[in-house]
Amino acid sequence: MVDVLAKANLLSYSYPNQHSNGLSLFPKSFTRSCFMRGFSVKSRSQAFRLSSSLSSDFNGKRVVLREYKGLPGRGNSPKGSIKAQQIGLIGKSQKWWEKGLQPNMKEVTSAQDLVDSLLNAGDKLVVVDFFSPGCGGCKALHPKICQLAEMHPDVQFLQVNYEEHKSMCYSLNVHVLPFFRFYRGAHGRLCSFSCTNATIKKFKDALAKHATDRCSLEPTKGLEEKELIALAANKDLSFNFTPKPQPTPVPAEEELPVLVTPHTFSDLPLPLPSTNLKSTQDSKEKPLVVSGR
């Protein structure tokens, strides 16, 4: 094989330097371009290493095949690849509202997702947390909310990003942050308030009050009907809601007055005849007493 390559004039001496010794199995022009550009003569898509060298007698010299490594300071150096990986990790840093999340914490993606999450919760207590990435109070309060969620695994926490759902928050009359609303079963909304890291006791008291186990036989209420109508009327939201037909009130039966028909004398009962004849005779015999005589 070496003889054939030699006849074809494909073998060329490599310039003696720190990268090579002896001969190379590549044309001279290709070898020079490889040294000048600083990459290996091997194909980049096929990473291989030659653990053994091929040697043969060629004009009294050895023909050595070896792997050429790139010059230091180039893009294919290990330091450059490590730095690129570090830059990629920094670019994918976790956002503060995604840190410390518990299994019972979920971010709401749409108005329909919020409605379905409340209805599917059943009798479980649901806390809706309205926050904004640029709100300093929301950021300071987030770690404590995560701790409380870990302490109450039976409570469902729903996070609503105000920056991504401004139109929905406007329909729900949420205009201050951080803001919380508590929902449960057939009772629907239990309370709503705003609190900060300094007034976290308000949140803890509401959680302790409404986190007790309860059971209701009535269907889950979720959002109020006026809130559902407001969401459906919002053109920015793809949410449909059909109000339930209200039953028509049945008028109460009025008490009609009892009509008394006039009676004739013939309808009146006749007096019974007196059987005591003596009493009748005495009444006839008594004189009429007239005062003044």
Three-state SS sequence of 150-215: HHCCCCEEEEEECCCCHHHHHHCCCCCCCEEEEEEHHHEEEEEEECCCCCHHHHHHHHHHHCCCCC
Global model pTM greater than 0.85? no
DSSP state of 97: G
Instruction: Give residue limits of the domains in the chain.
Output: 2-62, 97-233
pLDDT tens-place string over residues 144-203? 999 999 999 999 999 999 999 999 999 999 999 999 999 999 999 999 999 999 999 999
Q: Which of 34, 135, 146, 169 is catalytic?
A: 135
Q: Which of 34, 138, 146, 195 is catalytic?
A: 138
pLDDT at 245: 79
Q: Name the CATH code of domain 97-233 (choices 3.40.50.300, 3.40.228.10, 2.30.40.10, 3.40.30.10).
A: 3.40.30.10
Is 138 one of the catalytic residues?
Answer: yes
Distance between CA atoms of 157 and 164, rounded to whole angstroms? 18
pLDDT tens-place string over residues 74-133? 545 555 555 555 555 455 688 999 999 999 999 999 999 999 999 999 999 999 999 999
pLDDT at 254: 62
Residue of 191, 240, 236, 241 whose CA lies nearest to 211: 191
Is 135 one of the catalytic residues?
Answer: yes
